[in-house]
Amino acid sequence: MIETPYLLFLGDAPDQLAAKVAQGIRDWRPDNAVGQFRMDGCKADLGLPDMDLAAAKAAGAKTLVIGVANRGGVISQAWKKVLVTALEEGFDLASGLHNLLRDEPDLVAVAEATGRALHDVRVPEVDYPIANGVRRTGKRCLAVGTDCSVGKMYTALAMDREMQARGMKATFRATGQTGILITGDGVPLDAVVADFMAGAVEWLTPDNDPDHWDLIEGQGSLFHVSYSGVTMALIHGGQPDALILSHEPTRPHMRGLPDYQLPSLEALRDLSLTLARVANPDVQVVGISVNTAALSEDEAMACLAEIENRMGLPAVDPFRQGAGRLVDALAAL
Amino acid sequence: MIETPYLLFLGDAPDQLAAKVAQGIRDWRPDNAVGQFRMDGCKADLGLPDMDLAAAKAAGAKTLVIGVANRGGVISQAWKKVLVTALEEGFDLASGLHNLLRDEPDLVAVAEATGRALHDVRVPEVDYPIANGVRRTGKRCLAVGTDCSVGKMYTALAMDREMQARGMKATFRATGQTGILITGDGVPLDAVVADFMAGAVEWLTPDNDPDHWDLIEGQGSLFHVSYSGVTMALIHGGQPDALILSHEPTRPHMRGLPDYQLPSLEALRDLSLTLARVANPDVQVVGISVNTAALSEDEAMACLAEIENRMGLPAVDPFRQGAGRLVDALAAL
């Protein structure tokens, strides 16, 4: 669990895209971010107050979150000066970078001396159990994709926001580094040892009120040969009551796999239901989330109408339209 | 890669079952075992020559393999004396125990001083790649089960033996600790980090001669919620040309999951084919391996006949009958 609120460190981000982790926190958990810390030459701007460490401390910030992707994967000396000072001034540090904070001897030494925490959210910090398959109380929703990176996290976050607005009981359950930094906790599922994947998902989505929904962040795709085992563990560990099919309609092939075509939404529906019924015989597919960012408004509407008509399920782009109809479908279960 | 041949350490095994790893090596790779080392009170016997360390060294043994499950999971002081002496006399050590050799400071110190290796086969020793899904040359066969522990490893080893006897090109590919100790190498798949599972299977089964068969050791079951992600990675990373369905007909529920019924062989066939076709559209189910150990001879024959008739595929208990008909089915592909 990462202590909130955050000061978002944008470093010397070369452009806005490099700060997409910080942007995610800004978009989805604005209450978690008191301000942004930008170094000379930073080209990203979240529209948050610029703060130095002292101002952020005064505003209540507990953790400096590295919300920027660095070039070459190294934690630069230019950053180091800020990070060390932050530890000395009482901030914890959190990062999703490939290069770990804990592998930097100077940061480790200062963190130990000051009693502060270094959170590398790519690294599991819990000894997860082996899944036991016991049915849990409460309800769970999982987005499964025709491919990786089709908008599963966005869909779950948008549904969570809509459900909070309606006063429904809901919790977004992060399973990847960006989601963990946004919410402050979760399971970095792709870094969990194979035997414990499904158990980690059970741990993440425990017994809850009968009318509470966990919105589990999806990963990978059953049709993506590199990561399908992770998706499988989400389906069997999550024992979802509701599935959302996620799709990006313009992709020419599976992400990173030029020889692999995307499956149809029908194939995704049938396979996902077959597998999910092993853990929860009552599971239903309730809707379809389509990422139409590459389409014009007219094209997007036509695409959504075609899918909705063909599949007999609400088909929505939550970025263009909000997640209201997907939440309606959950509420109707 | 563990250096062969082995001296098999049976320690103070309380019964024959406790030495089942050693028994597996004795049964499947007798050339890998020059003898057995038994301590006072050992109740297991593999029928191999009893040797002390000097005799085993003279007979060519390179590695002392802990072929016995210990009680309570600790490496006892009674064992330690033998293990330390073995290192000093030039043996490597290999173990599949939960408690790791590398976590024993005395063993580590002696291994470093003598330049010997400590092989904990539960721990991956390779940085596996992320799977790339590229089709590989050569052929691959994978056993998939209605449940865990239904005889998948035995089936693959029996097929390997039969194929060697026929002069076919075949390699058993170990994916679990017992298989790795039997053959001296492999991937401890259940201990691999999630993102790299399928890549580890690709790494294990590389390009090969067009008429060469990899016989990949199966793990878990698509229908076992604790481990299905590992099975998924075997199917997508292994890109099998041939599947064998494995089944144990008397099991009352999924292993360790009292609320979960076993699937039908038809359900296993259909789901496995759907998933395997993602990586290899030409995959076929070629036969069924049935573990009839709990049945009488008459019951077993009736069970096999019923399954063969119902499924339209050769149904064999390789322990009772050998794997000849399964190999015939592979050869006919």
Q: Measuring CA to CA, which residue among B175, B187, B124, B183 is closest to residue B6? A: B183
Contact assessment for residue B73 and residue B98, using Cβ atoms and an 8 Å cutoff: yes
How do B139-145 and B212-216 pair as beta strands?
A: parallel
Alpha carbon A283 to its chain's center: 23
The SS3 call for residue A300 is helix
Which residue from B132, B133, B227 is facing A195, i.e. has the nearest CB? B227
Assess B273–A contact: CB distance below 8 Å, yes or no: no
* pLDDT given for residue B69 in this prediction: 82
Interface A-B, measured as beta-carbon pairs within 8 A, has a size of 127
Alpha carbon distance B101, B119 (integer Å): 8
Buried b (16+ CB within 10 A) or exposed e, B155-165: bbbbbbbbbee
- What are the domain boundaries of chain A? 6-120, 139-332
Residues of A with Cβ-Cβ distance to B222 under 8 angstroms: 232, 275
Minimal Cα–Cα distance from B282 to chain A, Å? 14
Residues of B with Cβ-Cβ distance to A229 under 8 angstroms: 194, 197-198, 229-230, 232-233, 236
Alpha carbon distance A21, A179 (integer Å): 9
Alpha carbon distance A77, A96 (integer Å): 18
In angstroms, the Cα distances linking A58 to A16, A110, A316, A330 are 27, 22, 42, 42
Contact assessment for residue A140 and residue A214, using Cβ atoms and an 8 Å cutoff: yes
Q: Measuring CA to CA, which residue among A307, A281, A280 is closest to residue A292? A: A307
Q: Which helix (H) or strand (E) holds A11?
A: strand A6-11
Contact assessment for residue A183 and residue A172, using Cβ atoms and an 8 Å cutoff: yes
* pLDDT given for residue B76 in this prediction: 84
Residues of B with Cβ-Cβ distance to A190 under 8 angstroms: 193-195
How do A169-173 and A212-216 pair as beta strands?
A: parallel
A254: nearest CA in chain B? B133
Tokens standing for residue A86: 């932050």
The DSSP line for A12-79 is T-SSSGGGHHHHHHHHH-GGGEEEEEE-TT-----SSPB--HHHHHHTT--EEEE-SPPGGG---HHH
Which residue from B232, B239, B259 is facing A229, i.e. has the nearest CB? B232
Quick one: what percent of chain A has pLDDT higher than 90?
A: 94
Tell me which of B221, B232, B255 to substitute to probe the interface with A (most A C-beta atoms closer than 10 Å). Answer: B232
Tokens standing for residue B303: 């069970």
Other C-beta atoms closer than 10 Å to the C-beta of B253 total: 12
Alpha carbon distance B177, B122 (integer Å): 6
Q: Is the peptide bond before B5 cis (omega within 30 degrees of 0)?
A: yes
Asked whether the beta carbons of residue B257 and residue A223 sit closer than 8 angstroms, the reply is no
* pLDDT given for residue B295 in this prediction: 98
DSSP 8-state secondary structure symbol assigned to residue B32: G
Residues of A with Cβ-Cβ distance to B263 under 8 angstroms: 278
Which residue from B130, B229, B275 is facing A226, i.e. has the nearest CB? B130
Q: Which architecture does CATH list for B6-120?
A: 3-Layer(aba) Sandwich (3.40)
Assess B197–A contact: CB distance below 8 Å, yes or no: yes
Buried b (16+ CB within 10 A) or exposed e, A282-314: ebebbbbbbbbeebeeeebeebbeebbeebebb
Which residue from A133, A225, A278 is facing B198, i.e. has the nearest CB? A225
Minimal Cα–Cα distance from B281 to chain A, Å? 11
> Does the fold of domain A139-332 match that of domain A6-120?
yes
Which residue from A130, A192, A223 is facing B278, i.e. has the nearest CB? A223
Which residue from B199, B232, B237 is facing A232, i.e. has the nearest CB? B232
Alpha carbon distance A330, A324 (integer Å): 10
Q: Which helix (H) or strand (E) holds A180?
A: helix A177-183
Residues of A with Cβ-Cβ distance to B226 under 8 angstroms: 130-133, 195, 198-199, 236
Tell me which of A134, A225, A272 to substitute to probe the interface with B (most B C-beta atoms closer than 10 Å). Answer: A225
Alpha carbon distance B308, B303 (integer Å): 9
Assess B244–A contact: CB distance below 8 Å, yes or no: no
Q: Measuring CA to CA, which residue among B215, B224, B202 is closest to residue B289? A: B215
Asked whether the beta carbons of residue A194 and residue B229 sit closer than 8 angstroms, the reply is yes
In angstroms, the Cα distances linking B49 to A204, B39, B52, B87 are 52, 14, 10, 21
* pLDDT given for residue B70 in this prediction: 73
Assess A129–B contact: CB distance below 8 Å, yes or no: no
CB-based contacts of B24, cutoff 8 Å, min separation 6:
B178, B181, B182
Assess A240–B contact: CB distance below 8 Å, yes or no: no
Residues 141-170 of chain B with CB under 8 A from chain A are none
Tell me which of A228, A272, A280 to substitute to probe the interface with B (most B C-beta atoms closer than 10 Å). Answer: A228
What class is the B139-332 domain? alpha beta
DSSP 8-state secondary structure symbol assigned to residue B222: T
What single-letter amino acid sits at A127?
A: D
Residues of A with Cβ-Cβ distance to B227 under 8 angstroms: 195, 198
Task: Pick out chain A residues at pLDDT < 50.
Answer: none
E strand residue ranges, chain B: 6-11, 33-38, 63-66, 92-95, 118-120, 139-145, 169-173, 212-216, 242-247, 284-290, 315-316
Partner residues linked to A193 by β-bridges: B193
Tokens standing for residue A34: 């008191």
DSSP 8-state secondary structure symbol assigned to residue A257: B
pLDDT in tens, chain B (333 residues): 899 999 999 999 999 989 989 999 999 999 999 999 999 999 999 999 999 999 999 999 999 999 998 766 678 888 999 999 999 999 999 999 888 999 999 999 999 999 999 999 999 989 999 999 999 999 999 999 999 999 999 999 999 999 999 999 999 999 999 999 999 999 999 999 999 999 999 999 999 999 999 999 999 999 999 999 999 999 999 999 999 999 999 999 999 999 999 999 999 999 999 999 999 999 999 999 999 999 999 999 999 999 999 999 999 999 999 999 999 999 999
* pLDDT given for residue B73 in this prediction: 63
Tokens standing for residue A139: 């309800």
Assess A257–B contact: CB distance below 8 Å, yes or no: yes
Which residue from B130, B131, B193 is facing A191, i.e. has the nearest CB? B193
